[in-house]
Amino acid sequence: MQPKRAHTGALILFGRAALSDPLANSGPSVTPENSQRYRDTRRVTLVGATVNSFLAVAQLVSGWLLNSQALVADGVHTLSDLITDGVVLFAASKAAASPDQEHPYGHARIETLATVIVGVFLALAGLAIAWAAGNRLVEPEAMTGPANMAIAFALLTLVAKESLYQYTHRVAKRLHSRMLDANAWHHRTDAISSLFVLVGVAAAVAGFPWADALAALIVALFILHVAGRLIVRSAAELIDTALEPEKVERIHRTILDVPGVKDAHMLRTRRHGSEVVVDVHIQVAPMISVSEGHRIADAVFHAVTDDHDRVNDITVHVDPENDADQARSSTLPLRPTLVEALREAWADTPELEAVEHLSLHYLGGRVHMTLTLRLDGATTPADLEARAQALADRLHRHPGVGDMLGDVTLLYRPCTH
């Protein structure tokens, strides 16, 4: 039969009804497989470290033998690369570790910290080169021209450094690794440094020894610029800076397109190493079941992670109404208090023993109750409606919870044998 709605707000139903209590929900979390990422990072870093080892020895020895201060300075710069390569290898091995009890969100931030360290080394190298170049410029009498063979070593260094940049940058782009990208830019600054060294050495051989020092000073300023950019971007990630506004708006539109989502607010984003973490509150229809709310949240999770490849995890909080109305319900009593009030209000009624299910809805600053009762014996709809009105009135008159109650709805289920 079709249900009939009583004027009192009670509902007379012939059939079976089952409702669940609403509660907040969090979206699933996904832990990516990091082993391949670590292997790729380790391989490209070891290649860089090997090349830098040979270059450092070649630059220092050739600079000393061929009387080239620029090559010696570039060799010292290359030695700093070996230090940063070690930092990258250490950070990559730690960042690839799975989440644990002390680090439930994983270890990806180690990459961010390593990027800061690489930036600091870049800055120190830039300052050292600038200091040495400045001293050579203010003491022109100390300048001596290098031997012709120094040009060949400067050219070899330039080609090797630019090749390392291209290789490392491609891997960093594929892995979305800021740490590897920082190391790639370290190789690029070395290549530009070697270019100026090449020009300076050539000019010094041609009879202009000051050109070597001037070129080194220009390179130092470029290195300091790149180092500052890396440090600032990584520091912003460490303090949970949000994504760019246009990217956040794109995620917001993706969430609103999910069926069942009425609104989305409190959308927050932050970078976590090479990945992005999101949390959001979504508003759904207020009377749906917990399982349907969870299903909608699950759909939001998959929609965002599928459409935005760098989003690794999203936490979804399900709201049955907007925050202003929901705040009014924050002081309302929980289930144990309401159950006790129900027992007190219906203590002398046979319906108390017939209650099979109690569903609570906290909406608009009121508690709305839906009760399913077992219906024994033949009773007319009119009698059931009158009885439902009387039982609802008893609850509304209860001194402890009466003024907090909204709608009290009674559902009757026929007793089957």
Give every CB contact of residue 178 below 8 A, 6+ residues apart in sequence. Answer: 111, 112, 115, 172, 233, 234, 237, 273, 274
Calpha distance 352→343 (Å, rounded): 7
Is the distance from CB of 220 to CB of 260 less than 8 angstroms? no
Is the distance from CB of 316 to CB of 297 less than 8 angstroms? yes
- Phi, psi at 374, each rounded to 5°: -80, 130
pLDDT tens, N- to C-terminus, the chain (417 residues): 333 333 333 333 333 333 333 333 333 333 344 577 778 877 887 888 888 888 888 878 877 777 676 777 777 777 766 776 677 667 766 666 666 677 666 666 777 777 788 788 878 878 887 887 787 777 765 555 566 777 887 888 888 888 888 988 888 888 877 777 877 887 887 788 788 778 877 887 777 777 767 777 777 787 788 788 878 877 777 777 778 889 999 999 999 999 999 999 999 988 876 678 899 999 999 989 899 999 999 999 999 998 887 787 899 999 998 877 777 888 899 999 999 999 999 999 988 999 999 999 999 889 999 999 988 766 788 888 898 999 999 999 999 898 899 999 999 888 665
Three-state secondary structure readout of 30-93 = CCCCCHHHHHHHHHHHHHHHHHHHHHHHHHHHHHHHCCCHHHHHHHHHHHHHHHHHHHHHHHHH
For residue 88, CA distances in Å to 14, 81, 111, 188, 296 come to 69, 10, 8, 16, 41
- Transcribe 228-270 into DSSP letters: HHHHHHHHHHHTTPPPPHHHHHHHHHHHHTSTT--EEEEEEEE
Q: What is the pLDDT of residue 29?
A: 38
Q: What is the pLDDT of residue 131?
A: 84
Q: What is the pLDDT of residue 347?
A: 93
**Which residue from 184, 201, 192 is spatially nearest to 70, judged by alpha carbons?**
201
Full-model pTM: 0.58
Strand order in the sheet with 355-363: 355-363, 366-375, 405-414
